Amino acid sequence: MIKRTKYIFLTLSIILFIGFSSNANNYIKKWKTLTQVIRLVNENYVEEVDMNEILDGAIIGLLDKLDPHSSYLNVELLEEMQENFSGEFEGIGIEFSIIDGYITIISPIPETPSDRAGLLSGDKIVKINDESAYKITQKDVFNKLRGPKNSKVNITIRRAGADDFSVDLIRAKIPIHSVLASFMIDNNTGYVKLNRFSHTTMDEFSNALNDLEQLGMSQLIIDLRNNPGGLMHQAVQMVDMFINSHDKILFTKGRIRGSSKEEWSRKSSKDKKYPVIVLINRGSASASEIVAGAFQDLDRGLVVGETSFGKGSVQNLLELNDGSAIKLTIAKYYTPSGRSIQRPYDKGVDEYYLDLSEENREDLDSLSTERPIFKTKSGRTVYGGGGITPDVFVESDLNLSKSTSLFLTSADRLLFNFSEKIKNEDEINNFIDSHSINDFITDYKLSKKHKSDLKIILSDLDDEFKDEDLKKDWEFIENRIKAQMANSIWGKSAMYQVNLSKDQIAQDALKQFPAAHLLIK
């Protein structure tokens, strides 16, 4: 009787939820069928099954039917997402990878317990609280090294050329930076690289601009390549910093109350007036596309690179009773000119992501005939219906050999290990003692011995390796090795500075500033 009462109550709740519409009866029939299937699987399947896992799968399947960006987040995934958006966590502050079974420090995060304790890139953590850390899982690393602020953890460090030593670290709040790098490319041009839009993005971005302006910046590159987006209001605030008139930055349209709204710039004497170029590629999505689309539509900056991802929808996080949540699409957003940049997803999720890698999205001849045309504030032609098409297309076509790709992406972090080995040589230490990062970029070259050692590694990785492969890719590989070394020696901004020196999209973008200057006159 109790079970029946609960079932009747649930059925009545469903009717109230969906209303007394013509579809109510069909909905209830389907609900009864679903609960029957769940019961039959639980009672009759050949093996005992984890019904929690089965029901999670049912929820995931339901949301998959809606669109590619509605999703289910279990408690663990929800906590991870909230941590990323909060912009901080509590721990010791290291970027790491598990190499040869040990936690290997890629770099200590500046101004954190690990940095203040003098830990170095390449150090291995061999014990945590006197327990061996050999063959530890990534999940256990987080469980053991993270913890409440002001709590203590003891780690044992193995460093090349030294005996193992023990360090007590007091955990603290560790920032998850949105701004990965900021520096001056030349006497006039500032560069800021962002990898997400979280609660701290605008504070970080504003601080970076202030520092660059103190160094004489008169023009800016904002690098949003491979930035998957994040919080919409942070993107709106970023654009607002550069709009010197009362303009619409974006608007959203949805079905429920509060989902349709407009975001306008707020005119201020503090607005930035220098020319801007925004870099995008196929990995730039959501909030990144809001920024790029607004700069383009309002003729406030040039967009350079590849056509962006094409995610033009807004998700709300709806928490469930068990602590999990669903991320549900509630609206679509539109750029100032009225463009929806959402790519079609009517062929299913798999096809949606496959199109991103296979489609020739930079074929402007096809764009002009197949995609809707819009006009910017000054009358320039732009396109809707599938990402932000750049004002200046620069293809990122590395065409690297198989052996090079394997070296750069190896799970054993071969690039890191090789770079660390060179970094510890006397020759590079002597060079660093008397030279700046700019000297390192222009003057430091890897030796013939380094090239010979690398050749052995590449031939081990690929049975079909040829000397011509290394010859063709050498300039790119050398730059990546130097960038990794710069990260260990000077920090992340230095790594991006080295990378940028051979970055075709960034180098081409620098040539577009005369056109960017014309937009703000």
Q: What amino acid positions are annotated as catalytic residues?
A: 286, 297, 311
Distance, in Å, from the CA atom of 301 to the CA atom of 515, rounded to the nearest integer, reads 9
Q: By three-state DSSP, how is residue 39 classified? A: helix
* Residue 405 CB neighbour total at 10 angstroms: 14
Strands 179-184 and 189-194, how do they pair?
antiparallel
Q: In degrees rounded to 5, what are phi and psi of residue 240? A: -60, -30
Q: Which structure tokens are listed for 118? A: 């003098």
Contacts of 357 (CB under 8 A, 6+ apart): 282
Classify residue 44 as exposed, middle or buried by CB count within 10 Å of its CB (0-12, 13-18, 19+): exposed
Distance, in Å, from the CA atom of 276 to the CA atom of 14, rounded to the nearest integer, reads 52
The length of the chain is 521
Q: Is residue 4 within a helix (H) or strand (E), and if so which, with residue range?
A: helix 2-18
Distance, in Å, from the CA atom of 91 to the CA atom of 169, rounded to the nearest integer, reads 9
Note whether 71 and 63 are within 8 A (CB): yes
Q: How many Cα atoms are found within 13 Å in the side-chain-facing hemisphere of 56?
A: 13
Distance, in Å, from the CA atom of 287 to the CA atom of 294, rounded to the nearest integer, reads 11
Q: By three-state DSSP, how is residue 262 classified? A: strand
Classify residue 272 as exposed, middle or buried by CB count within 10 Å of its CB (0-12, 13-18, 19+): middle
Distance, in Å, from the CA atom of 254 to the CA atom of 233, rounded to the nearest integer, reads 17
